[in-house]
Structures are given as C-alpha cells and as structure tokens.
Amino acid sequence: MASVVDWWAVACVRHTVEYVAKPAATLLFLASALALDPANSDVRTWFCVALVLCVAGDVFLMLPVDAFVPGLGAFLVAQICFAIGFAHYGLSAGDLALGAGIVAVIAIPLATRFVRALVRRDQRVLVVPVLAYVAALAAMVTTAVAGANGWGIAGALFFLSSDSLIGEQRFVAERAWMPVAIMVTYHAALALLVVSVVP
C-alpha cells in the first residue's frame, strides 16, 4: 500500500506525502524480508543490509537539496550487498561468464550514453561516481543471473530498469512519465528480491 501511495504522490507532485511513503515502502520490504523463512539465512542477511542502505538512498534522493552523490553512494553499497547475497547461493565460473555477457550487452551502452551526456552537460565530476555505480549494479545483476531463482533474476533486472530510467531522466532527457515509472520498477525490484529469498 505504501508503494501505491508513493506512486500517487510522485505522479501528483505531493512532496510531503512522498517524504513519508517512499522510505515507508522500503522499510516495509525490509520488514517482510525479516519475517520470511529464507532458503539461505546469509542471503537474507545481506539483502536486509542492502534494504537498509536503500532506505538511506531513498531519503538522500528525495531531499529538496542536491544529495545525488550520497544517494548514489548508498545505493552503490546496497548493490554490492545484494551481489554478496546472491553469491551465497554458489556461483560457477560458467554461470558468472554467462551473466556477465548478458549484462555487458546492456550496461556498456548505458554507461557510454550517460558518460557522453555528462561530458556534454559539463558534469565531468559525476563520471567516476556514475561509472562506479554502473559497475556495482552490473555486478549485482550478473550474480543474480548466475545464481538466483527466477524471482531474484527478475528483481535484479527491474532494478537495472529503474536505475537506467534515473540516468536517462537526470543526464539525458526528462519525460513526464519517468518519475512514476522509476518508482514502479524500483518497488517491483525490491518486492521480487525479497520474494526470492523464500525456498
């Protein structure tokens, strides 16, 4: 329910409601992860740490001041935690190679597009943080493809979709539908990642 309220707040530009609903939704996903009986408790632990960092990132990115870099940093560490969680399923070299190949086809063109946009906008200071985040996100999706169940893979791909939209909106060109699409895909990602810990 908090997710739907947040989507409405974003669509209607109700910042006060968004300030409550956005972190509340992520906290509810965290509570759900804690309440589930996981297939692997280590995976659940790392996912919960990642979700705490997602809450921090949510707060940074919705503040009325520009806290993009701290928000990016919080989500970067969250992606690393998700990747470590997925690694606890056990990953073979072949599966990692397959995952990396699939992700590279998506991540490299995106990174190139965003870097070019940053240079064009004279925001070169963001190039290294953005590339570092893309690398962490790619690692998370790679480990998901290599070791997760279908729910986890879908969640990782939704996360990639949401963050791709954020990059497109912030660095390339903003569209009216993007803010809501970003939140819908983000919450879908978190929901699927939480569900994926269940056997």
Residue 14: count of CB within 10 angstroms of its CB? 14
pLDDT tens for 150-169 read 999 999 999 999 999 999 99
Task: Give the helix/strand (H/E) hosting 100.
Answer: helix 93-120
More confident residue, 174 or 189: 189
Domain ranges, residue 140: 2-195
| One-character DSSP codes across 161-186 | HHHHHHHIIIII---TTHHHHHHHHH
pLDDT tens for 107-139 read 999 999 999 999 999 999 999 999 999 999 999
**What pLDDT shows up at residue 148?**
87
Angle at the Cα of 181 from the Cα atoms of 176 and 187, rounded to 5 degrees: 150
**What pLDDT shows up at residue 194?**
97
More confident residue, 1 or 121: 121
Number of compact structural domains in the chain: 1
| One-character DSSP codes across 122-159 | T-GGGHHHHHHHHHHHHHHHHHHHHH--HHHHHHHHHH
